[in-house]
Amino acid sequence: MIRMKYYKAKENFVVNQITDKTILIPKGEQILKNNSMIIMNETALLLWNSISKDYKNIIQLIKVLTDEFEVNAADVLDDLDKFLTTLLNVDALEVKNVEA
């Protein structure tokens, strides 16, 4: 059996547009846990919007990127991993392990 991680954005974060920057900001009790803000580019916003709706695994997130941009899967894997790690570090993601 293979264990696959699925990621979903926690609801205690909100995306705000401040001047020309898109920023992920904690809200409610999350502010007490982590008062960090994350500046997001177009790619990060696309991923955040995708995981805000539903749980997605790494393969599904790669597909989101390859469908939107003219890139191949190998080129986005490292940046995707860094993005997910950043979100995990600020406690912005729910993670569900599923065995397949």
Q: pLDDT per residue over 20-54, tens digit each?
A: 999 998 887 777 676 678 899 999 999 999 999 99
Q: How far from 4 is each of 45, 84, 87, CA to CA, in Å? A: 23, 14, 18
Exposed / middle / buried, residue 52 (Cβ in 10 Å: 0-12, 13-18, 19+): middle
Share of the chain above pLDDT 70, in %: 96
